Amino acid sequence: MNHCHETSSSDIQELSALVTCKLITRPLDELHPHPSYARHCVTVPISKLSALAERSDLAFQEPIRITRDGIIIDGYARVELARQLGRTELLCLEYDLSETESLQEMLEAHQSSRGFNAFQRTVLALDLESEFQEQARSHQREGGRNKGSSKLTEAERLDVRSRIAAVAGVSAGNVRKVKWLTTAAHHDLTAALKTGEISIHLAWTWSQKPLHEQLDALWWQRTKKGLNKTTQELVSRHRPKSSLSVPDPGELANRLAALRPNQISSIKVSVVKGQGKAIYLTEELALALDFQQMDLCEATSR
């Protein structure tokens, strides 16, 4: 499908004979999101709005793309910012497109890194599934196959999935996973997917579990991220300036075994995700085990 992104009047006039679009100023109250965009509660990230706001009036020099019915194809952030700033109208490129065509155009426009993430694009593209299925059935009837049957062959079902994947800019496997997630995932997982906090594959793996376990998995994921960040900050802040000797694992095991029961019960143990085999000691535990007491005291006194 041809596009007319140019904004100069001469370019627009030259292209008008080739494509069905025109440059026009439309009132903001005549513009509205695509039904699929509204249905799936897609929103503009705050970071994108903030970056756009820094451009001031320059942000509105490029026209947004809409349909003749006022459906927004591309320019959601600019429309949102315009409303926040109290603007009443925007420069638009108006296309003569159906609802289905405008959805495909919208997905194509948001496949770059600045657009919708993979989950959002796939959810939106799945709204085209019934349209693609009907087209496949139409091909069946035209070819004289499966007369009177509405069932698609396995090859045709895979073709529909492949078409959805192509429109969304993802793999066919991700289409299958997202379709499952829309019915089996806890709404908190879906919210995390929309923001890009977790990947489609990770959410799909969790979605095989009961809902309460999905929430537990998400909570632990967020906790680990927070702990990793906090740990890195603490390690950086408290790393001794002098090089300390590292206790031998065998000696460490012997000294732990020699502790009294009340000392053992006060030690907290946790597992962290990482590569290799390692044991980490806090300075307090190292001192309690009498490892390099002099070096540790000197390091912590600095």
Among candidate residues 2, 64, 60, the one with its CA nearest the CA of residue 30: 64
pLDDT score of 229 more than 80 = no
Cβ atoms within 10 Å of 63's Cβ, excluding its own: 24
What is the average pLDDT score of the chain?
82
- Mean pLDDT calculated for residue range 77-89: 94
Amino acid found at 23 = L
What pLDDT score does 138 carry? 86
pLDDT score of 75 more than 90 = yes
What pLDDT score does 290 carry? 75
Assign 3-class secondary structure to 217-253.
HHHHHHHHHHHHHHHHHHHHHHCCCCCCCCCCHHHHH
- Mean pLDDT calculated for residue range 129-133: 93
Q: What is the pLDDT of residues 154-179, one digit of tens each?
A: 888 889 999 999 999 999 999 999 99
pLDDT band at 272 (very low <50, low <70, confident <90, very high): low
> CA angle, 55 as apex, 53 and 57 as ends, to 5°?
95
Residues 6+ apart with CB under 8 A from 104: 128, 167
pLDDT band at 81 (very low <50, low <70, confident <90, very high): very high
- Greater confidence, 231 or 16? 231
Q: Are 183 and 160 in contact (CB under 8 A)?
A: no
Q: What is the dihedral of CA 64, 65, 70, 76, to 10 degrees?
A: -60
User: What is the maximum span of the chain, computed from C-alpha positions, in angstroms?
Assistant: 89
Residues 6+ apart with CB under 8 A from 286: 247, 292, 296
Report phi then psi at 23, rounded to 5.
-85, 125
Lowest mean pLDDT among 64-68, 87-91, 265-269, 289-293: 289-293
pLDDT band at 203 (very low <50, low <70, confident <90, very high): very high
Residues 6+ apart with CB under 8 A from 98: none
Burial 74-108 (b: 16+ CB within 10 A, else e): bbbbbbbbbeeeeeeebbbbbbebeeeebbbbbbb
pLDDT score of 62 more than 50 = yes
Q: Does domain 1-115 have CATH number 3.30.930.10?
A: no
pLDDT score of 98 more than 60 = yes
Token duo for residue 71 = 């459906």
Among candidate residues 209, 207, 217, 219, the one with its CA nearest the CA of residue 181: 207
What pLDDT score does 30 carry? 96
- Greater confidence, 206 or 237? 206
Of the chain, the percentage scoring pLDDT greater than 90 comes to 48
Q: What is the pLDDT of residues 108-121, one digit of tens each?
A: 988 865 678 999 99
Q: What are the boundaries of each domain within the chain?
A: 1-115, 117-239, 249-300
What pLDDT score does 246 carry? 61
Q: Are 97 and 126 in contact (CB under 8 A)?
A: no
CA distances from residue 10 to 6, 13, 16, 25 in whole angstroms, order as listed: 9, 5, 10, 17
Residue 121 Ramachandran class (φ > 0 left, ψ -120 to 50 alpha, else beta): alpha
